[in-house]
Amino acid sequence: MKTLRLALLAAGLALGVIAYRVQIHNLGPYTSPARSWAIVIGAWLFLVAGLVAWSRRPSNRLGPLMTAAGIALLLRQLRYSHDAFLFTVFFVVGELSYWIVAHAVFAYPSGRITDRLERALIKVGYTVTFLFTIAILLLYDGSRPLRFFDPTPRDSLISVGGSGNAAITVQKAFVIVVWGVLAVAAIVLLVRKLVLATPRARRILAPLLLAAITVGLRAVFESVFTFAERPSAILYEYLFWWQIAAFIALPLALLAGLLRARLARAGVGDLVLELERTPPQGIRDALSRALDDPTLEVLFWLPERNGFGDAAGRSAELPTDSNRTVTRLQHEGEPLAALVHDPSLLEEPKLVSAAGAAASLALENARLHAETRAQLEQVRESRVRIVETADEERRRIERDIHDGAQQRLVALAVQLRSAQRRLRDPEIDSLLAATVKELQVAVEELRELARGVHPAILTEDGLAAALESLVSRIPFPVDLDAPEGRLPAQVEATAYFVACEALANVVKHARASTATVRAVRRNGLLVVEVEDDGIGGAVAENGSGLRGLADRVEALGGRFRVESPAEGGTRIVGEIPCAS
């Protein structure tokens, strides 16, 4: 294959020199060395770009197509020969060469035209051009120049003679149909391709397609002149260089595209180095840069969930719409991650798989991170559930005490008083009075117990009312500031128990004369502070009460701290997230 390509390169270079000489010798004053070389150089660039593409991606048909376009463009110039055979053959080949170029443009970058309309246009272009050129050659009698193709008369090997008018009519029709209608169709399809492309694909396609549109516009311009006077010599000169510039831009745009892919693969090399010092959360950005796809998303396989999740461990679904493409990556036979990317990356599957392979260790590391985050998230959710369940259980116990034993004892006390009133026996009276007294003590104890388990006022009237009720039972003045309105039940309960436990500690240990209870909503948090002017020295780790409070607050994603210097005064702060 390499030999073939080298042979084609050598043949193309030689052919270029021959094409140059054919033009200079046969077109006389209608050309110049600069114009002749410009045409040859344009064709050589196609050839070289084609051979480079061919050697870099042997399985892609784009390389051979571009090479063929380069060779055909060079051969095209041989039709200016006065030799009838060369003129006849290369007149046809020359006109077909433009369609090889169009074929390559539409096939870029995969080498295949997948769109039905585009494929139809290229087929029609080849067929119509071939038939028209054969018809022109059949009708052309060589008595005068071919109006739109050549300034001097040539000999057609297959001429059947006939009137010159018929040949002129067919030429006109050819210029209108092929250079006009089909060129406009090609421009429309190129614009459509640009519009429909994803942002990433558009960046890759734009230079080539814009150059191709410029070439197409030049053909349309030529077609329009079929109906008008030929333009002035100076305008014609501009038009010629316009065409040459666009023709040179085409292979350069293609080469640039190839170079870009090469740079991207070099980027994969950099990726390996970069990932060595990238923390797990930076992997997406590194991959996004290496693949030149800002929309890239990385999802990790979470075996426990039997599904994918994001870097934070949250479950995520793979997209199903056609605007996104998913490439699944594996590591040692196990699912690893999914890259959700721009569909245009499918045209560079090696790039994606190379980047995936380069990143696989880092991705595995990040996947484990995501898995840990997912497990942490589960633990966090389960802690919240435990707190909620415990609260619910406490509420139930409080209700059971209140509605059960307490009610029975109360009813009993009332009944005993009725009995006491009816009997009016001094001995039994004092006995019943003592019994009622005992019952009242039992009821009071139950009441305290129920209140400690879960105060009903908290459930019924909320935090402010519960705190007010709480501080009213403290034996020294307590300053209270609590928010009106309801908060989520577990937030209210946690805040209440922080205040309750802290005040109980103040009463038992602090030897304080005053205290302050403050509950304030701030930045999505409910901040509960209990401050006293006592002896200080409280430590969260020592008392299981404070430790339990810390656990409770942290279970809800909050923070708990005890500031209790030895010189006196204690401040207990619970910060509880409350979304509403």
Contacting positions for other proteins (CB under 8 A): 402-403, 406-415, 417-418, 421-422, 439-440, 443-444, 447, 451, 455-457, 460-461, 464-466, 468-469, 472-473
- Which residue's CB is nearer to other proteins, number 447 or number 486? 447
Angle value at C-alpha 312, between 308 and 315, nearest 5 degrees: 30
Please, which residue, 307 or 404, has the CB nearer to other proteins?
Answer: 404
We find the least distance from the C-beta atom of residue 519 to other proteins, in angstroms, to be: 15
Please report, for the chain, how many H helices and E strands are present, in that order: 18, 10
Q: Which is nearer to other proteins, 47 or 467 (CB)?
A: 467
**Burial (CB count <10 Å: 0-12, 13-18, 19+), residue 455:** buried
CA separation for the pair 194, 188 (Å, rounded): 10
Closest CA to 397 of 313, 338, 454, 351: 454
Least Å from the CB of residue 549 to other proteins: 23
Distances (CA, A) of 274 to 135, 253, 269, 348, 510: 63, 30, 9, 21, 57
For other proteins, the closer CB: 417 or 571: 417
Q: Which is nearer to other proteins, 288 or 406 (CB)?
A: 406
- Determine the 3-state secondary structure of 323 from DSSP: coil
Query: Which residue, 421 or 561, is less far from other proteins as judged by CB?
Result: 421
Distance of CA 512 to the CA centre of its chain: 60
- The pair of three-digit structure tokens given for residue 252, joined into one six-digit string: 């350069």
Q: Report H helices in 402-477.
A: 407-423, 426-453, 456-461, 463-472
Asked if residues 450 and 401 have their Cβ atoms less than 8 Å apart, the reply is yes
Nearer to other proteins, 337 or 493 (CB): 493
CB of residue 414 vs other proteins: minimum separation in angstroms?
Answer: 4
DSSP string, 139-199: H--SSS--TTT-SS----TT-----HHHHHHHHHHHIIIIIIIIHHHHHHHHHHHHHHS-H
State which residue, 68 or 458, has the beta carbon closest to other proteins: 458
Q: Which is nearer to other proteins, 203 or 408 (CB)?
A: 408
Residue with tokens 């039992």: 442
Phi, psi angle pair for 316, to nearest 5°: -145, 145
Q: How far is the CB of 318 from other proteins (least distance, A)?
A: 50
Tell the smallest beta-carbon distance from residue 449 to other proteins (Å).
Answer: 12
Dig out the tokens for 147 from the structure: 């109006």
What is the CB neighbour count within 10 angstroms for residue 433?
A: 13
Task: Report the side by side order of strands in the sheet with 570-577.
Answer: 478-481, 515-522, 525-532, 570-577, 559-563
- Residue 240 CA to chain centroid, in angstroms? 45
Instruction: Between 76 and 451, name the residue whose CB sits nearer to other proteins.
Output: 451
Kindly state the DSSP code that residue 77 receives in the 8-state scheme: G
CB of 390 to other proteins, least distance (A): 21
At its nearest, how many Å lie between other proteins and the CB of residue 411?
4
Q: How far is the CB of 432 from other proteins (least distance, A)?
A: 12
Smallest distance from other proteins to CB 426, Å: 17
Closest to other proteins by CB, 357 or 412? 412
Least distance to other proteins from the beta carbon of 572, Å? 23
Q: How far is the CB of 428 from other proteins (least distance, A)?
A: 16
* Residues across the chain: 580
| Three-state DSSP state, 476 | coil
